[in-house]
Amino acid sequence: MNNFESVSDFKEAIKEIHVLIDNANISIDDNLQYRTFNKSSIVLLCGKFESFLESFLEEFSYYILNNFSNKNLDSFIKEHLIEVLILELENKKNNLSKREEVLMKFVKILGEQEVLCNDFEINAKFNYGKHGQNEVTKLLKKFGFNDFAESEENKIFYEKFNSLNNIRNNILHQDSTPSLTHQDVTNYLTTLDNFVDNLFEVAKKIILEMKNNYCQHTPMVICG
């Protein structure tokens, strides 16, 4: 797995932020335009990052569920799939045929037979109206990125990310005009872009470790 479309899409999407930053830079002498470009950059940047994270985790899960069996799944991902099934069962408990379909999925993921779980649903969505560090770490941990979510290197990221979201919330909910410079926006953009790169590297390592473990426990399989 050398690339994720979600990573490429994010790199393409933030070109719009660069356009806004460039326009802010050449509009410094016009206070209204300057503030408008900077405020727009912040709101757009937050939206693009949250969209990336959801897409990335969905893509990561899709790859895992299509390449590893129920016997090889990371425990965190397996628990997430079961939690989603529990909610689905609650919603379909009064429909006998649909309820049976959900129950058979429990048998599938917990049973002795080794099978792919690529028909299972996952939930990589942010909780509506909630943003910031807690939501990011909650999502990451659902999909096995615990060490990365709690890593020392991300402490600075979370500080800047929380600051970024506070600014976004003040813009959206209080119509405030923060004292932002285009350099501030550039710094926030760089912080998120670096996080995306680091997350992708960790995802590749997780996949590689799963492949190695699979090969070790399945000697008849030729792994390349």
Domain for residue 63, yes or no? yes
For 46-87, the pLDDT digits (tens) are: 999 999 999 999 999 999 999 999 999 989 999 999 999 999
180 found inside a domain: yes
List of residues 6+ apart from 38 with CB closer than 8 A: 20, 24, 180, 181, 182, 184, 185
- What residue numbers bound the domain in which 160 lies? 5-217
Per residue in 18-38, pLDDT (tens digit) is 999 999 999 999 999 999 999
Enter the pTM of the model: 0.90
pLDDT value of position 47: 94
**Measuring CA to CA, which residue among 77, 144, 145 is closest to residue 109?**
77
Q: Would residue 222 count as lying in a domain?
A: no
Partners of residue 69 on adjacent β-strands: 116
Q: Which of 14, 67, 20 shows the shortest CA–CA distance to 197?
A: 14
Instruction: Judge whether 98 lies within some domain.
Output: yes
Provide the pLDDT confidence category of residue 204 given band limits of 50, 70 and 90. Answer: very high
Binned at pLDDT 50, 70 and 90, residue 218 comes out as low
Q: Is residue 97 part of a domain?
A: yes
Residue 182 resides in a domain: yes
Number of domains, the chain: 1
Q: Is the pLDDT of residue 222 over 60?
A: no
Is 223 within the bounds of a domain? no
In a domain, 83, yes or no: yes
